[in-house]
Copies of this chain bind each other. A is one copy, B any other.
Amino acid sequence: MVSIKDVARVAGVSNKTVSRVVNKEPNVRPQTIDRVEQVIQQLGYVPNLSARLIRTKRSSTFGVMTDLVTTTPYSGDIMRGVLDWVKENDRTLLTINTDGNPEQEQLAWRTFQEHRIDGVLYVTMYHKEVELRQTVLPTVLVNCQVASTKGLLTPSIVPDDYQGAFDLTRFVLEQGHQRIAYIRLNPELLGAQLRYQAFLDATLGRDDLTIDIRIGMVGPVGREDNRVFAEVTDLITQKSPPEVIICGNDEMALQAFQAVMIRGLRIPEDISIVGFDDFQTISTRLHPPLTTAALPYHALGYQGAMLLESLVKGELSSIKPILLPCPLIRRESTISAFT
């Protein structure tokens, strides 16, 4: 492989001059620059970042550690966000999948150290609480947060499930609906708890409402027992069925749609349905398309990387978790009760 010395020899200059040209340092005569660049082209010289790292101690590389336990495949957009930031900021990305396994995480930390990574993004594919064993390297949590108070030293960025669900519920109430069904997500998910709590808070003190709460899925994350279809079927065959069904997420909304359609009811004329996530393959492909709240996956990754950069540079002022809004996406699966 051709090195800086080869270039220097052929160009008839010293190593240092080549180095200056490559790194665009000042104080080189334009003619010399030209000549050196010619030789670089001609020999196909490409600088060796590893050699540079030994001297500078800055790898300009971030590591991503992820569990890849996914509830919706769109969470892959987090990675996309990270990759986009990294590309725009001349860094590179080392990715390791640990399946959420502590032993594999241990190995991952070690690998990152061996590569002299500048910082680590600890990414989970669904919003959850984690226990962080070690942070030998500057670390930012993406889509997850530490439970214990001692972990407050690790900055994190998460979606604002509470705000999203609160806005969604308020929207439904503004539509004038009074008989409301709520299908809960797997309580194991942190997002499920936040969304449910927001629903309760947003409906608090409204005694004019009739609220029917069901549990849609239970069991270990990713392999849960799905009861949504049965629950919705039960709901709509009651004497006085709900006017609107709020589903814990879009995947559940898909189930609800089918249960309703098979019964010959129309959406939204007979019953309104809302989801959560804005899982596009579902939300935009349903007839009618789904009113939901969007999880800001791409932004989580992008801003998470940004956050890590400022952490690495020591420019981070506050350490408290950053909440990214989940905007209400209003589509045609909901209708006003007043019309």
Contact = CB atoms under 8 A, between A and B. Distances in A.
Interface in A13-71: 46-51, 53-54, 57, 59, 68
Interface in A73-109: 73-74, 76, 79-80, 83-84, 87, 92-97, 104
Given A50-B53, A87-B96, A254-B282, 8 more contacts: A1-B116, A68-B80, A79-B79, A93-B94, A95-B95, A226-B285, A258-B287, A279-B281
Interface string A264-294: 1000000000000001011001110000000
A114 interface: yes
Contacts of A286: 258
30 contacts: A1-B57, A46-B110, A46-B113, A46-B114, A48-B54, A49-B50, A49-B114, A49-B115, A49-B116, A50-B51, A50-B54, A50-B116, A73-B74, A76-B79, A79-B79, A79-B95, A83-B95, A87-B104, A92-B96, A92-B111, A93-B95, A226-B285, A251-B285, A254-B281, A254-B285, A258-B287, A264-B264, A279-B281, A281-B281, A281-B282
A69 B313 CA distance: 33
A255 B76 contact: no
A122 interface: no
B281 A262 contact: no
A172 to B, nearest CB: 23
Nearest to A98: B87
Contacts of A162: none
A166 to B, nearest CB: 26
A47 B87 CA distance: 28
Interface residues of A, number: 51
A251 B285 CA distance: 8
Contacts of A92: 94, 96, 111, 115
B49 A229 contact: no
Contacts of A54: 48, 50-51, 54
Interface of A: 1, 46-51, 53-54, 57, 59, 68, 72-74, 76, 79-80, 83-84, 87, 92-97, 104, 110-111, 113-116, 226, 229, 251, 254-255, 257-259, 261-262, 264, 279, 281-282, 285-287
Contacts of A47: 114
| The 6 nearest A-B residue pairs measured at CB | A73-B73, A50-B50, A83-B97, A76-B76, A261-B261, A46-B113
Given A229-B287, A251-B281, A84 B113 contact: no
A279 B76 CA distance: 15
A79 B68 CA distance: 10
A42 B192 CA distance: 44
Identify which of A46, A50, A254 gathers the most chain B CB atoms within 10 Å of its CB: A50
A104 to B, nearest CB: 7
Nearest to A115: B49
Identify which of A116, A255, A287 gathers the most chain B CB atoms within 10 Å of its CB: A287
Nearest to A266: B262
